[in-house]
């Protein structure tokens, strides 16, 4: 299969490219240096020259707090850039897979969000990603919209790496305990995307590692698993706090847990529990350090 991957230099994109190539697919990785997705002519030229059968659109403006003061930048990438890639994909009849986020919901629900629950983003980032979803649904004839949450992996900065670093530098860490979600390992998400694009099960999917926890519980698990997998001592004490204790420019959803209704209905293989994904990541991290 010929697959064009945007955002190929990012945390998820790098694993998507690696796993696609490992599976024997012909991949064109593109990043911001090789393809300006805000330029439609450039997107069309890229698609017409490579002629992909599928496009996995990982490119995104993900600086959640910065977006609050840079809405034009967020919409240029997440809405206009997505529209350009969809139109280019349609011209060459390629399937289109758009990576979206839990931030399209307001986080006030008492239960996990299903794919067709009403969206109500409160942050500029969430609104711009929802705008991308609407454009994909409006303009693509063969699309997958995959919402995920709390992503971490070997490439780039993320919560797990930050905790491991701070855990060796500070005796006490204070972590938010009133926001819950599902930590998602990039490799597990990438493997799901590879399976999905080879089907014709178009529509919206929620894909995250199974189960839920708060950021505080996630931090505790990171240190527990790291002590076993990485060895060494993590004497850090983790204390819970509230969202109000750590004010940020962009509002965070209190409930980011995604229900995988579409995966069950479509009979697809689900992602493993989040704690198993965390162990696998730490093993990958250890192998990279060896």
State the CATH number of the domain containing residue 64. 3.40.50.720
**Domain range spanning residue 71?**
2-158+182-211+256-272
Residue 288: the pLDDT is: 82
Residue 234: the pLDDT is: 80
Per-residue pLDDT band for 290 (boundaries 50, 70, 90) equals low
Residue 232 lies in a domain: no
Catalytic residue among 61, 75, 125, 152: 125
Q: What is the pLDDT of residues 248-288, one digit of tens each?
A: 999 999 999 999 999 999 999 999 999 999 999 999 999 98
Residue 220 lies in a domain: no
Please count the other Cβ atoms lying within 10 Å of the Cβ belonging to residue 239.
11
Residue 173 lies in a domain: no
Q: In whole angstroms, what is the distance from residue 274 CA to residue 255 CA?
A: 16
Round the average pLDDT of the chain to a whole number and report it.
Answer: 96
Residue 242 lies in a domain: no
- Residues whose CB is less than 8 angstroms from the CB of residue 209 and which lie 6 or more positions away in sequence, other chains included: 182, 183, 184, 185, 188, 271, 272, 273, 274, 276, 277
**Is pLDDT above 80 for 289?**
no
Phi then psi dihedrals of residue 48, to 5 deg: -70, -30
Please count the other Cβ atoms lying within 10 Å of the Cβ belonging to residue 134.
14
Q: What is the pLDDT of residues 75-96, one digit of tens each?
A: 999 999 999 999 999 999 999 9
Using left for φ > 0, alpha for ψ between -120 and 50, and beta otherwise, residue 107 falls in left
The HSE-up count of residue 20 (CA atoms within 13 Å, CB side) is: 27
125 flagged as catalytic: yes
Per-residue pLDDT band for 133 (boundaries 50, 70, 90) equals very high
Taking alpha carbons only, the member of 142, 135, 137 closest to residue 53 is: 142
Residue 277: the pLDDT is: 98
Query: How many domains does the chain fold into?
Result: 1
- For 274, the enclosing helix (H) or strand (E) is helix 274-289
Residue 132 lies in a domain: yes
Taking alpha carbons only, the member of 125, 127, 279, 263 closest to residue 207 is: 263
Q: What is the pLDDT of residues 135-191, one digit of tens each?
A: 999 999 999 999 999 999 999 899 999 999 999 899 999 999 999 999 999 999 999
Residue 92: the pLDDT is: 98
Q: What is the pLDDT of residues 230-244, one digit of tens each?
A: 887 788 999 999 999
Residue 235: the pLDDT is: 83
The tokens of 166 are what?
């701070």
Residue 71 lies in a domain: yes
What are the C-alpha distances in Å from 51 to residues 46, 117, 269?
8, 35, 29
What mean pLDDT do residues 120-146 have? 98
Global confidence as pTM: 0.97
Residue 163 lies in a domain: no
Report CA 103 to chain centroid distance, whole Å: 11
The tokens of 242 are what?
């509230």
Per-residue pLDDT band for 227 (boundaries 50, 70, 90) equals very high
Per-residue pLDDT band for 98 (boundaries 50, 70, 90) equals very high
Taking alpha carbons only, the member of 190, 263, 185 closest to residue 27 is: 190
Task: Report DSSP letters for 32-78, one per residue.
Answer: TTT--TT-HHHHHHHHHHH--SEEEE------HHHHTT-HHHHHIII
């Amino acid at each position: 299969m010929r697959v064009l991957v945007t955002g190929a230099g990012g945390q998820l994109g790098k694993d998507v490219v690696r796993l696609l190539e490992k599976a024997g697919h012909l991949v064109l990785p593109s990043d911001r240096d090789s393809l300006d997705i805000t330029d439609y002519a450039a997107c069309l030229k890229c698609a017409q020259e490579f002629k992909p059968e599928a496009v996995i659109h990982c490119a995104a403006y993900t600086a959640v707090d910065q977006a609050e003061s840079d809405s034009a930048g967020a919409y240029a990438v997440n809405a206009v850039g997505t529209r350009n890639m969809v139109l280019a994909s349609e011209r060459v009849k390629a399937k289109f897979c758009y990576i979206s986020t839990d931030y399209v919901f307001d986080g006030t629900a008492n239960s996990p969000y299903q794919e067709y629950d009403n969206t109500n983003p409160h942050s500029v980032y969430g609104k711009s990603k929802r705008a991308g979803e609407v454009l994909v649904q409006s303009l693509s004839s063969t699309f997958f919209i995959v919402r995920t949450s709390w992503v971490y992996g070997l490439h780039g900065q993320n919560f797990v790496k930050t905790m491991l670093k701070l855990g060796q530098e500070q005796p006490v860490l204070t972590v938010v305990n009133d926001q819950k979600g599902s930590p998602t390992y990039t490799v597990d998400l990438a493997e799901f995307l590879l399976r999905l694009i080879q089907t014709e099960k178009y529509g919206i999917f929620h894909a995250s590692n199974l189960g839920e926890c708060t950021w505080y519980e996630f931090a505790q698990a990171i240190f527990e698993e790291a002590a076993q997998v990485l060895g060494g001592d993590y004497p850090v004490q983790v204390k819970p706090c509230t969202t109000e204790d750590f004010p940020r420019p962009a509002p965070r959803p209190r409930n980011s847990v995604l229900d995988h209704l579409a995966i069950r209905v479509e009979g697809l293989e689900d992602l493993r529990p989040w704690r198993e994904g965390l162990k696998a990541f730490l093993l990958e991290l250890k192998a990279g350090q060896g």
